[in-house]
């Protein structure tokens, strides 16, 4: 009986290691209101797969806005972009392991800046009750009743830097702690 279970466990382990990675093929497109010269900023962008704060894979965005990245882990990973000129990593999507061989994504830049507070859903949890606009004032820390410090209150999230670009995130989800 033990030999049968051991053989079954080795078979499962062997089958799991042979699973193919999920390849994410994506493209960034410009909205009509953005100057075409800003497409040069794509040369500075990196697309990353993160599990928590750990980067498990990354790729450079090509001049035409295309990128390819592989999720070879067995973990659910967040796809984000960042790079020189972007204050923090900006959430794009969650990639499930071995969901399919290839996942194709199209992302518009800049991100949703035209919607008003309370009317935009978080792309990760699909809720809007904990989504805050990112304010332009930097370094504001709010003290909570239990003595903790946090960079947001009920109305705004305050970034670490007041330098911003058109690629920076405009929204923060308190529930998921992501910027988009």
Residue 32 pLDDT class (50, 70, 90 cuts) = low
| pLDDT at residue number 57 | 93
- For residues 35-68, one letter each, b for 16 or more C-beta atoms within 10 angstroms of the residue's C-beta and e for the rest, the string is eeeebebbeebbbbbbeeeeebbebebeeebebe
pTM of the model: 0.74
Both tokens of 143, joined, read 């003290």
Rg (CA), the chain: 20
What is the distance between the alpha carbons of residues 57 and 47, in angstroms, rounded to a whole number? 8
- Compare 142 and 180 and report the one with higher pLDDT: 180
Residue 43 pLDDT class (50, 70, 90 cuts) = low
Torsions phi, psi of 3, nearest 5? -65, -35
Instruction: Tell me what percent of the residues of the chain surpass a pLDDT of 90.
Output: 22
Mean pLDDT taken over the chain: 78
**Domain spanning 19-179 has what CATH number?**
2.60.40.1120
Exposed / middle / buried, residue 72 (Cβ in 10 Å: 0-12, 13-18, 19+)? middle
22-30 and 102-109 beta bridge pairing: parallel
In the predicted structure, residue 15 carries a pLDDT above the cut 50 = no
What is the distance between the alpha carbons of residues 95 and 23, in angstroms, rounded to a whole number? 10
Locate the domains of the chain by residue range: 19-179
Both tokens of 139, joined, read 């370094």
* pLDDT tens figures, 123-175: 899 998 899 988 877 767 777 777 778 888 888 888 877 667 777 888 899 99
């Amino acid at each position: 009986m033990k030999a049968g279970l051991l053989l079954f466990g080795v078979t499962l382990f062997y089958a799991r290691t042979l699973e193919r990675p999920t390849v994410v093929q994506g493209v960034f497109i410009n909205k009509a209101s953005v100057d075409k010269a800003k497409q040069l900023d794509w040369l500075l962008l990196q697309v990353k797969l993160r599990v928590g704060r750990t980067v498990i894979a990354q790729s450079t965005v090509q001049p035409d806005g295309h990128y390819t990245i592989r999720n070879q882990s067995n973990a659910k990973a967040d796809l984000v972009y960042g790079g020189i000129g972007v204050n923090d990593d900006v959430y794009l999507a969650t990639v499930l392991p071995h969901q399919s061989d290839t996942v194709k994504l199209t992302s518009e830049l800049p991100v949703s800046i035209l919607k008003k507070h309370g009317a935009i859903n978080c792309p990760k949890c699909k809720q809007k009750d904990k989504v805050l606009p990112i304010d332009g004032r930097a370094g504001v820390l709010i003290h909570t009743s239990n003595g903790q410090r946090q960079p947001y209150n009920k109305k705004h999230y305050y970034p670490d830097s007041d330098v911003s670009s058109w690629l920076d995130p405009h929204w923060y989800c308190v529930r998921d702690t992501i910027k988009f």
